Amino acid sequence: MCSIFGMFDLQPGDDLAALRRQALELSQRQRHRGPDWSGVFVDAGVILVHERLAIVDPASGAQPLRSRDGALALAVNGEIYNHRELALELDYDFTTGSDCEVINALYREHGSDLVPQLNGIFAFALWDGEAGRYLIARDPIGVCPLYWGHDEQGRLCVASEMKALVGLCADVAAFPPGHVYDSVSGELQCYYAKPWREHASTRGHEVPAPELRRAFEQAVHRQLMTDVPYGVLLSGGLDSSLVAACAAQFARERVEDDDRSEAWWPRLHSFAIGLEGSPDLAAAQIAADALGTVHHGFVYTFWEGLDALPEVIRHIETYDVTTIRAATPMYLLARRIKAMGVKMVLSGEGSDELFGGYLYFHKAPSAEAFHEETVRKLDALHSYDCLRANKAMMAWGVEARVPFLDLEFIDVAMGMDAKCKMAGNGRIEKAVLREAFAGALPDAILWRQKEQFSDGVGYGWIDGLKAHAAQQVSDREFAAAAARFPFNTPATREAYFYRRIFEQHFPGEACAATVPGGKSIACSSPAALAWDPAFAHAADPSGRAVRGVHSDALA
């Protein structure tokens, strides 16, 4: 994974040399995402800058990627998992072994219709010099971040992180996932529309346990595409442990077959973090021992986390409370992982959205309501867990891949009738997933209750943050919160504390508007608060707010 910066719609009178320098300076703000190399392309109508984190084809895959005839220039942040299959069907003269070059090849045959054929995580900008045309696109779920806006001269600018556009674009906004912008039409078009978005299309459809397990194993295998050392994030929760179990299986197969073509490290390394005595550290060790990973459990202190907060908020570009709570230990973990020479990790994000794993789903009144909430959660992932995992890890140049959000697996999981996923009345959340992987993990892990990452690192983390914010935000400040922050007014002192830091790095209404708002309980959407009258009075993003479900609920 890398970063991209693009400036389009340049005019004949523009000073290309000055704009090139400006583009390089702005791109440097996100160079942590791509510390391995920088590439620049300049043409009469465009400037593209790429900061590279070399994961696939590190020797020859530098970007922007050019076509053999020089007409196409492509800057990509991401990975295309089905690039080999696609390349077999294309008549194109490839110049590198990069998985991303298949985008140029597809463009030559299909134009903007290329995007739905990609299975991967990506944000890209493509320039066709012959046609004077450009495309900008983002993956369907928004695993890879992308922002866009216009400078004072009306030039369209795009960047992987918002910080590269602050001070340049007054109208900066998130580029929507699942969309492509084609300069020929000048319109933003949705290319990702699935039948499973409507519950009616899934009604009565069950997925046998062996089929569900096989689909996820295949997703993990696809995402092990790498030429550099890799590992897995292992919190000891169900999701990360299933990812680790599948990855460990394929690592063992490589050792037995003596096939080192897929990765340099056939021994799987796993990583966890938490406060001293945290639930996650203990559970992660149990899972690691069972799976035979080379495990690294790191302990951080509350003050180490607190000291990192300003940098965390600057990197993840949000003031959302849950995201910041969880991103901080992840940020600290990424630094440890980077120091060990690992450049890519697999992570468990997306499972709770697909299978209704958050504890508030126990209160879903019907299968239809359950399904509609999973769709809402998937639509919002780019603003929450995907944003957190990507930016917290990439702050240190570590790429996080998310097999649960593999596009083929999403179709399997979301095509299932939600009645098969429902929890409550003695049935644990994500039971259908747990049953599919019977025997793959110790029962203590396979049947462990959902623990949100910000809780699992140690309950003292969230409690300490609340107490610290109460000291830092005065009664007078908090009383005037609506006057200072009329958009998404902070509802708690903790939220005010984070918003104040965010504003220092990202001033203005446009930046604030990139962060969604609304009340939430245990990471719910605002709509789900109607499921239980008690939710309206106990709304807190912690999973411990769901009384009667969480085993250690808040009083």
Residues written for the chain: 555
Answer yes or no: is 489 within a domain.
Answer: no
28-69 residue pLDDT tens:
999 999 988 899 999 989 999 999 887 777 776 789 999 999
Please tell me whether residues 140 and 223 are part of one structural domain. no
Please tell me whether residues 140 and 234 are part of one structural domain. no
Please tell me whether residues 372 and 291 are part of one structural domain. yes
Q: In the 8-state DSSP scheme, what is residue 427?
A: B
Residue 356 near residue 421 (C-beta atoms within 8 A): yes
Give the span between the Cα atoms of 404 and 413, in whole angstroms. 9
Residue 514 near residue 147 (C-beta atoms within 8 A): yes
Give the span between the Cα atoms of 201 and 415, in whole angstroms. 8
Answer yes or no: is 474 within a domain.
Answer: no
Range of the domain at 175: 3-193
Q: Is the dihedral of CA 186, 187, 192, 195 positive or negative?
A: negative
pLDDT of residue 539: 60
519 falls in which pLDDT band (50, 70, 90)?
Answer: confident
Q: What is the mean pLDDT of residues 7-24?
A: 96
pLDDT of residue 264: 44
pLDDT of residue 429: 96
Please tell me whether residues 240 and 216 are part of one structural domain. yes
pTM (two decimals): 0.94
pLDDT of residue 259: 46
pLDDT of residue 515: 97
Q: Is the dihedral of CA 64, 67, 71, 74 positive or negative?
A: negative
pLDDT of residue 453: 63
Given a cut of 50, is residue 257 above it in pLDDT?
A: no
Given a cut of 50, is residue 263 above it in pLDDT?
A: no
Q: How many CA atoms lie less than 13 Å away from 274 in the CB half-sphere?
A: 29
Give the span between the Cα atoms of 375 and 542, in whole angstroms. 21
pLDDT of residue 284: 97
322 falls in which pLDDT band (50, 70, 90)?
Answer: very high
Number of domains in the chain: 2
Answer yes or no: is 477 within a domain.
Answer: no
pLDDT of residue 433: 98
- DSSP H/E element including 274: strand 269-274
Phi, psi of 3, rounded to the nearest 5 degrees? -135, 150
Please tell me whether residues 134 and 231 are part of one structural domain. no
Among residues 141, 159, 193, which one ends one of the domains?
193
Please tell me whether residues 157 and 270 are part of one structural domain. no
H-assigned helices in 67-224: 83-88, 102-110, 209-222
Answer yes or no: is 350 within a domain.
Answer: yes
Catalytic (active site) residue 144: no
Please tell me whether residues 252 and 165 are part of one structural domain. no
Give the span between the Cα atoms of 175 and 160, in whole angstroms. 10
Given a cut of 90, is residue 133 above it in pLDDT?
A: yes
Given a cut of 60, is residue 256 above it in pLDDT?
A: no
SS3 category, 379 = helix
Q: In the 8-state DSSP scheme, what is residue 137?
A: E
Q: What is the mean pLDDT of residues 440-451?
A: 93
pLDDT of residue 260: 43
Answer yes or no: is 42 within a domain.
Answer: yes
Given a cut of 50, is residue 172 above it in pLDDT?
A: yes
The CATH number linked to 33 is 3.60.20.10
86 falls in which pLDDT band (50, 70, 90)?
Answer: very high
184-227 residue pLDDT tens:
999 999 999 999 999 999 999 999 999 999 999 999 999 998 88
Q: Which of 2, 157, 169, 523 is catalytic?
A: 2
Given a cut of 90, is residue 276 above it in pLDDT?
A: yes
pLDDT of residue 261: 45
Q: Specify the range with the lowest mean pLDDT, choosing from 53-67, 137-151, 323-337.
A: 53-67
Cβ contacts of residue 211 below 8 Å, gap of 6+? 412
pLDDT of residue 512: 98
181 falls in which pLDDT band (50, 70, 90)?
Answer: very high
Q: Specify the range with the lowest mean pLDDT, choosing from 159-173, 200-214, 447-461.
A: 447-461
Q: Specify the range with the lowest mean pLDDT, choosing from 336-340, 402-406, 424-428.
A: 424-428
Phi-psi region of 306 (alpha: psi -120 to 50; beta: other; left: phi over 0): alpha
pLDDT of residue 258: 44
Please tell me whether residues 216 and 246 are part of one structural domain. yes
Residue 30 near residue 160 (C-beta atoms within 8 A): yes
pLDDT of residue 550: 60
The CATH number linked to 226 is 3.40.50.620
Please tell me whether residues 259 and 355 are part of one structural domain. yes
Please tell me whether residues 240 and 213 are part of one structural domain. yes
Residue 536 near residue 529 (C-beta atoms within 8 A): yes
Among residues 436, 453, 468, which one ends one of the domains?
468
Among residues 166, 193, 220, which one ends one of the domains?
193
Please tell me whether residues 302 and 412 are part of one structural domain. yes
Cβ contacts of residue 545 below 8 Å, gap of 6+? 521, 522, 538, 539, 553, 554
Answer yes or no: is 200 within a domain.
Answer: no
More confident residue, 114 or 59: 114
Give the span between the Cα atoms of 217 and 219, in whole angstroms. 5
Is the N-terminal amide bond of 64 cis, ω within 30° of 0? yes
Answer yes or no: is 511 within a domain.
Answer: no
Answer yes or no: is 531 within a domain.
Answer: no
Please tell me whether residues 188 and 221 are part of one structural domain. no
pLDDT of residue 357: 95
Residue 79 near residue 122 (C-beta atoms within 8 A): yes
pLDDT of residue 194: 97
538 falls in which pLDDT band (50, 70, 90)?
Answer: low
**Average pLDDT score, the chain:** 93
How far lies 116's CA from each of 82, 103, 106, in Å? 12, 11, 11
Q: Specify the range with the lowest mean pLDDT, choosing from 122-136, 308-322, 338-352, 519-533.
A: 519-533
174 falls in which pLDDT band (50, 70, 90)?
Answer: very high
Q: Specify the range with the lowest mean pLDDT, choosing from 133-137, 316-320, 523-527, 543-547.
A: 543-547
